[in-house]
Structure 1
Amino acid sequence: MINWAEVSTLITGGAGFIGANIVRRLALSGARLHLIVRPQTDLWRLSDVRDRVTVHKVDLLDGEGLRRMVRTIRPTIIFHLAMPSGHPRTAAERLESLQVGILATAHLLEAAMEIGAQRFIHFGSSLEYGRYDRPIKEVDHLSPVTDRGMAKATASMLAEFYARRHGIPVVILRPFSVYGPFENPNRFIPTLLRAAMTGEEVRLTAPSYRHDFIFVEDVVEASLRAAELQVQSGEAFNLGTGTQWTNEEVAALVEQVTGRALRLQIGARPPNPPDTSCWVADIEKARRLLGWEPFHDLSSGLKLTWRWMQAERIVDDQRA
């Protein structure tokens, strides 16, 4: 097991949803944390642990600047989560996601190889896969149907290649639909929970679109196990629950958890680019090699997220 207080840890994307939850977990363990963020990044998710981390405002596309910074801090463990948020809608956004996915990942892999980092945890996505009518396995073909999925898939392929060709100790994680504290307030589950607070109307997609929702604390736990355990370099792991829910089923569960009725307009919202009638993870590999499985079911995760939103008074959708 890693004594996090004795190693230097570097996290890209540490101000984002999943990254901030990893940062907060490690900060409370006394870890020596270094974060790479873009100069314009809002650090609202880290406001109460800001004094426990060192923030480096570095452009990941600046290869030489990045390598200088990595040589200075010499991280033992690297968590790579950086990627523009959301699904690209314009040519500029598509090109930015590909630049970060390919060039930024390559720059960081080169820097990790130069200093001999002991573990490189690369965050991919379930969006890397094609559409299947059954639980998705890690051996399934990568055939993304969205621009974000394409950027994620190319980055994961690059990380796997560096593991195989250059011996970098890479582990690839592919989370499914992650939710929980500090998620972007305008995403699906925070929108439902906020509507339970305010009574606002929620526009849902047509029935039958399904997702495998995984609580963020379970993703954090899997991330730390991937860093601590000895697994073959280049291995990929799905992070999900093995259970999928329709949007209307999630809305009904939110009503049950909060005790408040929702005002729904079913069919009023167009589907998102990756929406499909079957989207669920096979997590047997993570069980077998990481000794991990999700601790929270959707009901318990929603309860924890609901309590957090009430405590934090999360009633607006302005923070991303």
Structure 2
Amino acid sequence: METVLVTGGAGFIGSHFVKRLLRAQDIGRVTVLDALTYAGHVANLGEAFLDPRLNFVRGNILDASLVDSLVAQHPVVVHFAAESHVDRSLLAGGPFVQTNVLGTQVLADAAARHGARRFVHVSTDEVYGPLAEGSATEDYPLRPSVPYAASKAAGDLIALSYFRTYGLPVCVTRSSNNYGPAQYPEKIIPLFVTKLVTGEKVTLHGQGQHVRNWLHVEDNCQGIELVMRAGVPGEVYNIGGGTDLTNRELTRLLLQVCGADWDAVTYIPDRQANDIRYSMVWAKIADSLGYRPTHDLKEELARTADWYRRHPDRWAPLVRIPEPRAATRPHVTPDTAQEPQHV
């Protein structure tokens, strides 16, 4: 029975992955390590707490002693924990470097020391930077534009260096934009849906011509699980297969599923360093590991919007109550880390 440590497992993608793992019969204990900053909530795990195989530890990946004690007990590590929002990285890049770079190093160091059998580092297509045309393969140069993407690219390189230097069996996954239920309402889909269902206006940067590939979170989790089980150490796997849309095209679909019209849309000046287009080739994971995305965008957008309609208790407090400053800029070191809380 496999024993797995999932960092950031109370976040959006991480919580979906944990639930997926617990549906597998060959998985033993699953331990979630999460600092529960603004985007992480135990409610995201929900019914998973009914499974006795789930163990939850509240703590920060920068806490080296805590990380060491957990990695020693878990031969498989799947690393989701990250600061992940571009706009926040433009305001304060420090937490992104601390968590996404130094935090990755702390985890990889512990995993190498304890001889982990598998270390999966979860990353993003944004590390490739903008592509006016063509698509990035896994060996495409990393050309990130913003502090968030740069910190993820640095984390990728840190993780891969532990394979090349210490033989740690690292795999890196890079997915396109994820969507689905229970995403924190700062990313465009949950942000627009929560505004539209309450009769508020939404804003589009520039003319809405920025192109993104939209991948359902469960398809990404399928790919990550395949890499966890059978990925080749030292390899990078792009996880794509969603739908390419301009932000204007995406907005049109969201207006439809929310029963709104274009009067609800306002155009604002473009965000600084807003990459015009991302695109990846994902043939490698399809050909070598059998990855096949199965979720239809239009159907899943409707289901996602319906989830937000039915669960205002999960998101309304998040958008109405101002965040404490400390919650948006966590800074935890091994000397100052809070006592971990076990559930």
The CA deviation at 1:228 is 1.4
2:83–2:100: 8 Å Cα contact kept in structure 1?
no
Q: Which amino acid aligns with 2:263?
A: R
Instruction: Return the alpha-carbon distance in structure 2 between the equivalents of residues 294 and 274 of structure 1.
Output: 30
For the residue of structure 2 that corresponds to 1:223, the secondary structure is: helix
- Determine the structure 2 residue equivalent to 1:163: 163
Does residue 21 of structure 2 align to residue 20 of structure 1?
Answer: no
Instruction: Return the alpha-carbon distance in structure 2 between the equivalents of residues 118 and 247 of structure 1.
Output: 41
Alignment coverage as a number of residue pairs = 311
Unaligned runs of 5+ in 1: 1-5
2:196–2:202: 8 Å Cα contact kept in structure 1?
no
The CA deviation at 1:188 is 0.8
For the residue of structure 1 that corresponds to 2:85, the secondary structure is: coil
Instruction: Return the alpha-carbon distance in structure 1 between the equivalents of residues 45 and 183 of structure 2.
Output: 13
Unaligned runs of 5+ in 2: 324-343
Does residue 310 of structure 2 align to residue 311 of structure 1?
Answer: yes
- Determine the structure 1 residue equivalent to 2:78: 79
- Determine the structure 2 residue equivalent to 1:294: 293
Q: Which amino acid aligns with 2:162?
A: Y
For the residue of structure 2 that corresponds to 1:48, the secondary structure is: helix
The CA deviation at 1:175 is 1.4
- Determine the structure 2 residue equivalent to 1:54: 55
Q: Which amino acid aligns with 1:114?
A: R
Instruction: Return the alpha-carbon distance in structure 2 between the equivalents of residues 277 and 39 of structure 1.
Output: 32
1:97–1:151: 8 Å Cα contact kept in structure 2?
yes
- Determine the structure 1 residue equivalent to 2:225: 224
- Determine the structure 2 residue equivalent to 1:247: 247
Q: Which amino acid aligns with 1:60?
A: I
CA 1:195/1:59 → structure 2, altered by over 3 Å: closer, same or farther?
A: closer
For the residue of structure 2 that corresponds to 1:178, the secondary structure is: strand
Instruction: Return the alpha-carbon distance in structure 1 between the equivalents of residues 70 and 311 of structure 2.
Output: 35
**Equivalent in 3, 7, 11 of residue 8 of structure 1:** 3
- Determine the structure 2 residue equivalent to 1:107: 106
Instruction: Return the alpha-carbon distance in structure 2 between the equivalents of residues 90 and 109 of structure 1.
Output: 23
CA 1:191/1:262 → structure 2, altered by over 3 Å: closer, same or farther?
A: farther
- Determine the structure 1 residue equivalent to 2:211: 210
- Determine the structure 1 residue equivalent to 2:33: 36
- Determine the structure 2 residue equivalent to 1:3: none
The CA deviation at 1:61 is 1.7
Instruction: Return the alpha-carbon distance in structure 2 between the equivalents of residues 136 and 263 of structure 1.
Output: 37
1:123–1:174: 8 Å Cα contact kept in structure 2?
yes
- Determine the structure 2 residue equivalent to 1:121: 120
- Deviation string, structure 1 residues 145-182 (Cα, Å, up to 9, x no partner): 10011110111001111112211111101111111111
